Amino acid sequence: MELQQIRYFLALSEELHFWNTAERMFITQSALSRQIKALEEELGVQLFERSKRSVKLTEAGTFLKKQWLPLLDEINRIHLQARKIHEGTFGTVKIGYPGSTAYRFMPELITDISHTFPELKLELVEPTDISFEQLLLDYQMDLAFRRDPAENPSLQSKCLYSEPFALIVPLNHRLNEQNFTGLHDLENERFILSNLLQTTFYTSSLRQMLEEQNLKPNVYIETDFGGMILRLVSKGLGVSILPYSYSFSALANVRYIPLPYKVNLYVTWRRDDKSPVLRNILQMVEDTVTKYMAENNAGFDRVG
């Protein structure tokens, strides 16, 4: 018994007319008759009472119609869902991101994905940079945006864009973009920074920047969460250095002074991941970055 035979049976049970059913199913009337007869022989059940003037369901045929019709609907739904999975328009994707992208880039990307693939479920996580690679390798994440390229050969990275670092000071601070001459202006300031002893590419960039300016910052508060840093700066508790993307937070009482140092944003995924969903998301990333770069004129540069 084949699934197509059941489809023929259900179509004939609705039409109760061989010629009309054959036309609807795009086969000849004789071929339809053979399929129904073969189904009856295999089941050992008469499904239809036939005469020259009419076609009627038998009691057994009526029973099977009631049983098969919802099953066929479910099978069709399953087949449709399988097709969507194959095309990468249905499923779940877990995305990691750094906090600096949460104010513009990520919302734009998620909006684009949601409009283009409304049946995709997105799970967003904001781990610390040091855990991104392991989360990808452990399949706890499918895609990660991060400030440094992947080191593990099982992962693949692509640089999306670079942006300036910015000095973050309270709005009433003595320094502004006009009178700022360099990080040496901050020698007596209290800093709010990530732990500079970490081995991530991001903290290495911070250390290099500070060393080039011969500045040994007085780190008063340590935290890896940029949103918290911004709020502490806005309270006048110190100054900080963060990617310029944080300026899109529109937080009051904070001033952003661009620095002549840049940091990159990479997208990273498992090198052998052939998921159609991942393929579609990566294309959306490319499209969103193109639009994002066109909208920004604060020293952002497209890379790759």
242-282 pLDDT, tens per residue? Answer: 999 999 998 899 999 999 999 999 999 999 988 888 999 99
pLDDT tens track for 149-166: 888 999 999 999 999 999
Question: CB–CB of 207/215 below 8 Å?
Answer: no
For residue 83, the model assigns a pLDDT of 73
Angle at 207 between CA 204 and CA 213, to 5 degrees: 140
Q: Which amino acid is at 304?
A: G
User: Looking at the predicted structure, is the pLDDT value of residue 298 above 70?
Assistant: no
- Beta strand 218-222 with 240-243 is unpaired
CA separation for the pair 48, 9 (Å, rounded): 10
pTM: 0.73
What pLDDT is recorded for position 156?
Answer: 95
CATH code of the domain occupying 92-302: 3.40.190.290
Segment 21-36 mean pLDDT: 91
pLDDT digits (tens, 9 = 90+) for 152-204: 999 999 999 999 999 999 999 999 999 999 998 998 899 999 888 887 778 88
CA–CA distance, 271 with 278 (Å, rounded to integer): 11
Residue 141 CA to residue 152 CA, distance in Å, equals: 15
- What pLDDT score does 46 carry? 93
Kindly report the CATH class assigned to 3-87: mainly alpha
* Residues in CB range of 24: below 8 A, 6 or more apart: 11, 15
Distinct helix (H) and strand (E) counts, the chain: 9, 11
On the question of pLDDT at 139 being above 70, the answer is yes
Give strand pairing partners of 302: 161
Q: Which helix (H) or strand (E) holds 47?
A: none
Q: Say if CB 265 and CB 160 are below 8 A apart.
A: yes
Kindly provide the residue ranges of all beta strands, DSSP E only, lying in the chain, ordered along the sequence.
Answer: 48-50, 55-57, 91-96, 120-125, 143-146, 155-170, 190-193, 218-222, 240-243, 254-270, 301-302
pLDDT digits (tens, 9 = 90+) for 63-79: 999 999 888 878 877 77
pLDDT score recorded for residue 92: 87
Joined together, the tokens standing for residue 146 give 């991060």
Average pLDDT of the residues in 285-301: 84
pLDDT at 86 over 70: no
> Distances from the Cα of 206 to the Cαs of 177, 183, 194, 209, 265, in angstroms?
20, 12, 9, 5, 15
Average pLDDT of the residues of the chain: 89
The domain ranges of the chain are 3-87, 92-302
Q: What local confidence, expressed as pLDDT, does residue 72 receive?
A: 82
Give the separation between CA 241 and CA 165, rounded to whole angstroms. Answer: 7
What was the pLDDT predicted at 48? 92
Tell me what the mean pLDDT of segment 86-95 comes to: 79
